[in-house]
Chains A and B, each alone.
Chain A
């Protein structure tokens, strides 16, 4: 079994930082239906609140059925997973997501104790892996990574 180097850890950390920004910016954009599937491949496996979807088409189907979102990442973590080179990455994200227009769009008669419209807490875990069929396009890139697995739940 191969071991991890400090360099692996550093690249992984930076990749997670870059990835989470790109991913949620794309998710929250008006063009997510066209753009979000770019992060996936036909063999990607994902679950959304326990509902399974598969591959690029599955992602498109999934997001076609979700209201507009606004994500706020509150914490994230990332490990390179030993075993392959360059290593796959396990990324976990914890944050909140507002669907639709948020609490301000609740009807005037909504009681203050109503939670609807307010942000939900979400937890999302990704496995990212190098794509053997997509060579790096820029110098310095060790590989193009894509989402092999994605598990999301609303948890609050």
Chain B
């Protein structure tokens, strides 16, 4: 694309003000620890270590860059501390620190970005940067060169201020071998829709992980071009095009077009973030309008579900192989571990409580890597092979995988309060199946520690004469997903109203009954106002009516007039539980 197309763009509105501000405060970078992390240790990769020890040409890195990116512990400063005797580094520290140079450098980069910006197309053309005459003329280091430091970050930062918002970037034909220079794109341009990396020299998936990894994923990327990179071309030459497409698509779940071809995927009626106008946002309650309810089984004979579970778990605990007939021949099974520590259980100190003497003996290792594919937490898996390995297809495979899991004891018969089950019918094509979600706990052996679990079954009625029916299973498992978590008390599903903040009043059952006839959202708003003001129903309703049923306005109104309210405007203490 020709440079002329970008010759005299209008400066982005507000950019001057930002620059001035920035200079006054010596930094326009957000004081964002995540970003600092990213620049200091990009993805925790070896890149930064390599950079420190690599001889470079310090004069190529004007001090001004540190200024635009803020004073957030520059990489260089740390480098200097660790290698105080390197003369090159000393020289760099002294290079171009005066204010005029700083200002000039920032303005020069801004002008360059403006030249490369096409506002009509919302397109930033960053192709063939190294051969850019403007950069050469002004002595700026190309962000794609080995000598570059935070130039790329500066460019993306400036780009994030462009209006209209950037949708497309091309980094084509820059000879890139590492994805490192892209590591700040997701931070500054999280809404980027289209990216061309055509004609670079990317070889490994780890280069793409700079824009698809945990620290900075382009979550809204719609189109990506990798044509002309070894990472793509070698796969095509070796007839692995399908595998290549899967690997890319796995990394960018929102991707619609790859290398000009539509990506096969499932669509959702997701709200486009830009079309939902914030003016339609309604204020949210400070309290729950709904209670925690006991187990819910509907649309099916409750005993069908209960009998299944009462039969299933003794087999699961003692004789997993015998579950073969409980699973359909084409059933699916997998398990996954949520190894995060549950926040409330941690505060309660369950892990170290003497009431739970075995918790400290629990280890995730025996779950995470079983002989049969291991835990399937898709949030932590990028490799297609592992994704497939850990999903067990067919009753034989399912039972084999379950047999490889640690021994368990589920006390479903003795302590029903430790379990919660919700079950209801779901239509699936022509068929009606049953969705059963079960939450509870088990003792893990041999440690005897307690773990929590969630288990989701899709069940179908066993066909007459089927092996399942003959073996006494009235329902048969089509799908089974098991989640194992750190232990949380079964108090979590104790029925009744739930608190949001500490000290919140809770409604008595009498108060909830009095409110029950009201429709939503009025009922929730009434309860919210009553719990926050203690007003009785009549006063609460008047207060809301006078404020268009807006809770926050009603509360503000109450605060203004409360001194003049009569004592009988309030509910008695027994209307609440504290």
Interface residues of A (CB under 8 A from B): 1-4, 6-7, 9-22, 25-26, 29-31, 33-35, 38-39, 43, 45, 47-52, 61-62, 64-68, 73-84, 86, 88-90, 92, 94-96, 99-101, 105-107, 109-110, 112-121, 123, 125, 127-130, 134, 136-146, 148-149, 151, 153-156
Contact = CB atoms under 8 A, between A and B. Distances in A.
A67 B288 contact: yes
Most buried by A among B336, B391, B502: B502
Contacts of A134: 269
Interface stretch (B122-130, B135-143, B481-489, B555-563): B481-489
A39 B269 contact: yes
Contacts of B276: 29, 31, 34-35
Given A65-B520, A154-B292, A35 B271 contact: yes
Interface stretch (B151-159, B176-184, B375-383, B465-473): B375-383
A94 B485 contact: yes
Given A10-B387, A65-B288, A114-B502, A92 B481 contact: yes
Interface stretch (B87-95, B256-264, B316-324): B256-264
A67 B271 CA distance: 21
Chain A residues touching B, majority SS: mixed
B298 interface: yes
Interface in B265-282: 265-271, 273, 276-278, 280-282
A134 B340 CA distance: 38
Given A107-B503, A109-B503, A84 B378 contact: no
Contacts of A139: 262
Contact of B428 (A21, A48, A83): A83
B429 A116 contact: no
Contacts of A86: 266
Given A45-B424, A50-B293, A123 B437 contact: yes
B454 A156 contact: no
Contact of A65 (B246, B266, B289): B289
B338 A75 contact: yes
Nearest to A95: B338
A11 B478 contact: no
A9 B391 contact: yes
Given A45-B425, A118-B344, A144-B266, 9 more contacts: A18-B268, A76-B379, A92-B454, A96-B342, A107-B502, A116-B504, A121-B492, A141-B266, A146-B269
B365 interface: no
B521 A65 contact: yes
Contacts of B337: 75
Contacts of B478: 81-83
A13 B294 CA distance: 32
B271 A136 contact: no
Interface in B461-501: 478-479, 481, 483, 485, 488-489, 492-493, 495, 498-501
A149 B286 CA distance: 27
B422 interface: yes
B33 interface: no
B267 A145 contact: yes
Contact of B488 (A88, A125, A141, A155): A155
21 contacts: A10-B249, A13-B250, A13-B378, A19-B266, A31-B281, A62-B290, A65-B521, A76-B378, A84-B428, A94-B336, A106-B501, A115-B344, A120-B492, A121-B452, A123-B439, A125-B456, A136-B267, A144-B268, A146-B268, A148-B426, A153-B439
Given A65-B524, A120-B492, A138 B253 contact: no
Interface string B379-397: 1100010011001010000
B427 interface: yes
Contacts of A2: 330
Contacts of A77: 334, 336, 376-378, 481, 483
B154 to A, nearest CB: 29
A149 B435 CA distance: 8
B296 interface: yes
The 5 closest A-B pairs by CB, nearest first: A65-B289, A156-B488, A140-B262, A50-B293, A30-B281
Contacts of B456: 90, 92, 125, 151
Most buried by A among B250, B278, B286, B454: B454
Contacts of A156: 342, 344-345, 452, 485, 488-489, 492
Contacts of B280: 31, 34
Nearest to B440: A155
A119 B340 CA distance: 12
A18 B105 CA distance: 41
Interface string B342-380: 111101100000000000000000000000000011111
A140 B256 contact: yes
Contact of A13 (B263, B269, B387, B393): B387
A145 B268 contact: yes
Contacts of A26: 270-271
Contacts of B99: none
A125 B289 contact: no
Nearest to A115: B344
Nearest to B282: A33
Contact of A81 (B262, B439, B479, B524): B479
B384 A10 contact: yes
Nearest to A88: B428
A140 B340 CA distance: 36
Contact of A143 (B266, B287, B290, B340): B266
